[in-house]
Amino acid sequence: MAFKDKIYIVWRLFGAPRLSGANNDFCCRIGPVHRCFCGHSLRQHATPSKSSHGFTQKHACQAEGCACACYRYVPNEPEEIGEGFLSRRQGFNPKTWSAKCQCQHGHLAHDPKTQKCSACGCGFFQSNFLCVVCDCPWEDHSTVFETEEERERQSLPVREAYFPLVNLDWELRAQVLSDPTGGGLLSPRSFAPIDGEQRRSRRISHRPDMEALEEERNIWNAAEKWDLVDYCHSCATIFKSPESAFCSHCGAKRRR
């Protein structure tokens, strides 16, 4: 969607993160398979329209019988809220798992429009978990729809710079990702400076900088925990447990 429609959808914390070094742009990039609070994917919601005042909120869920009026991201896997141990339990089903409210019922037990719980007298959803990226509760986040122009005005990464691992050398990305081109959208040439100058929001170094080297080092340190490391073939995120069925970052199904 970011390349085709120039619409960027992220789950963003509003306020200061509790964890130092947290990503201030987003806690999660949102793709077509990421599920909403209502339990349906982004693909099942209407595409929001753009006006001079920004995006309308009329991206309602189109699934039959769903009352959801707008897409609101909620963590899709227990690894995203520090509960990865659940996915290692026998009989765990990622399709039925839902993040819990302080009433101890999952978000799927709450009305997608009013947030009232159908299993108890809870009046609205208040997360019983914290985001692993920023260490803040769900209600401190918002699902944000932005145009490419809006992100550029804020010096936020767009297009090629929005992709995972973009500040690593192309050859290294090719070793980590099954498709470093992102479905043919990227090429080695796109990682070179444009006319000798690139805007800050799109700057991508051909050689890894110190931050990139540290990111690479962290990847391989995590790899030492397992005999066999498995990456998401869509975004190169390391699966947080051998039992994870879906990527905790982009929501893609794991290839077995």
The answer to whether position 69 is within a domain reads: yes
- Decide if 149 is inside a domain: yes
Q: Report residue 14 as tokens.
A: 């509003």
- Burial class of 254 by CB neighbour count within 10 A (0 to 12, 13 to 18, 19+): middle
SS3 80: helix
Angle value at C-alpha 22, between 99 and 178, nearest 5 degrees: 75
Residue 198 lies in a domain: no
Q: What is the pTM of this model?
A: 0.66
**Which domain range does residue 66 map to?**
1-88+130-156
Is 28 a domain residue?
yes
**Whether the Cβ atoms of residue 138 and residue 144 lie closer than 8 Å to each other:** no
* Cα 239 to Cα 109, 191, 252, 255, distances in angstroms: 28, 26, 11, 11
Which residue blocks in 181-240 are alpha helix, DSSP H?
210-223
Strands 28-29 and 7-13: antiparallel
pLDDT in tens, the chain (256 residues): 556 678 899 999 999 999 888 888 999 999 899 999 999 999 999 987 665 555 555 689 999 999 999 999 999 999 999 998 998 898 899 888 999 999 999 999 999 999 999 999 899 999 999 999 999 999 999 999 998 899 999 999 888 778 766 666 666 666 666 665 655 556 665 555 333 334 344 433 444 455 655 665 665 555 454 444 566 776 667 766 777 777 777 777 777 6
Phi and psi at 207, nearest 5°, equal -110, 145
When divided into structural domains, the chain yields a total of 1
